[in-house]
Amino acid sequence: MFSKRLKVLRKEKGYTQAELAKCINSSLSKVAMWETEKRDPVKEDLLVLSELFDVSIDYLLGKTDNRNIETKKEINATTIAAHRLGDIEDLPDEAIDQLNDYIEYLKLKYKK
């Protein structure tokens, strides 16, 4: 799956294998071997490719079909919120209102 995803992403950017190799400070032969499934990328290569193509490592490896890296952040935020919910339920209504106000403030502050 990695080889197919890499080739599609490379072509979407309009890179040749040589241009991609230069972008990631690697060799043409390494990129060619990735695309022909003769070699697997190491962790450092996956990190660089993920950043270059703005996709998650899970997407590169075929573990998900969602390219969006933000999805993982959203899942983490949901998990944290669900975990903390038990702590929040014991607070007085006034404190819960303050938390909700603060969350809205943060959403506005960091909205893209």
pLDDT digit string, tens, across residues 36-91: 999 999 888 888 998 889 888 889 998 888 887 655 555 555 555 555 566 666 77
Q: Which two tokens stand for residue 72?
A: 């993982």
Nearest to residue 12, comparing CAs of 55, 43, 64, 56?
Answer: 55
Residues 57 and 78 both lie in one domain: no
Distance CA 42, CA 108 (A): 39
Residues 46 and 18 both lie in one domain: yes
Q: pLDDT, tens digit, for every residue of 82-94?
A: 555 666 667 788 8
For the chain, give the mean pLDDT. Answer: 82
Percentage of residues of the chain with pLDDT beyond 70 = 80
Angle between helices 2-13 and 28-35 (to 10 degrees): 120
Residues 89 and 55 both lie in one domain: no
Q: What is the pTM of this model?
A: 0.59
Distance CA 29, CA 47 (A): 19
Residue with tokens 């490379």: 10
Residues 49 and 81 both lie in one domain: no
Q: Which two tokens stand for residue 78?
A: 């949901």
Residues 25 and 50 both lie in one domain: yes
pLDDT at 84: 57
Residue range of the domain that includes 104: 70-110
CA dihedral 14, 17, 20, 21 (to 10 degrees): -170
